[in-house]
Structure 1
Amino acid sequence: MGVYVLDNQPNTFYRQRTYYRWDNGWSRSVSPNGPWEDTDIHGVPPGLGKQFGQ
């Protein structure tokens, strides 16, 4: 997938200074604690979107 998986936060991933979170839709942030910004499949790494059936 090309991302790191965070152990302590479900469905939260890290790649190149950006965190991505799946919760029935994608969001991203520069911090694992937010604030989170909604995004679509085009805003997440390609392998990550495929993992969630996108």
Structure 2
Amino acid sequence: MFHPNQYFYIADKAFGIYFQLYELVPYAWGFPYFVISVFEVQDMVVDDEAFGRMSY
């Protein structure tokens, strides 16, 4: 369901992925989003990239 222009944001030690209205669920449910902790994916992150520096 992800696409090349996926909406996301970076927060304190986490990043969020969100979808537009009607993309996954009805309007009444609001904007669906998923927050993923840096520590949950730290084994997959390259240290010298921006997201890798957040895990320290």
- Using the size of structure 1 for normalisation, the TM-score is 0.36
Larger Rg: 2
- Using the size of structure 2 for normalisation, the TM-score is 0.36
Larger helix percent: 2
Larger strand percent: 1
